[in-house]
Amino acid sequence: MTQEELQKLTVRQVIEMPEFEAELKLQLGLEEKSHTEALLRGRLKRTPLDSLRDKKVFDVEHIRAAFIAELDKSLIGFSYMERQYIHSLGMLAFSRVITKMLQQVKEKEGKSD
């Protein structure tokens, strides 16, 4: 991928990439692990993660769809905290994908010089 191709990508195209799914899956796993550890230490009560689990939407496909809806400002049926949590998970995965893609482009351009 070139710098120009990267700049032409839409947010939706990035969200639909397998790389985004992999990053989101990784992030959900990290969230689960840190949440479980905090619960075991007695430091947490109820969090948005618990609410999303209760609604059975704490998986990659549901979070991705909810993130898209949140970006479109059409996400309904979720509290403010749940929407913020979904938004932060999605943006973190999005940022990591874009950063990796930029690094790949820079490495590729560096090799062609």
pLDDT tens digit string along 25-49? Answer: 999 999 999 998 888 888 778 889 9
pLDDT tens digit string along 53-71? Answer: 999 999 999 999 999 999 9
Question: What is the distance between the alpha carbons of residues 42 and 15, in angstroms, rounded to a whole number?
Answer: 35
**For the chain, domain boundaries:** 46-104
Question: What is the distance between the alpha carbons of residues 80 and 6, in angstroms, rounded to a whole number?
Answer: 32
Model confidence at 112, pLDDT cuts 50, 70, 90, reads low
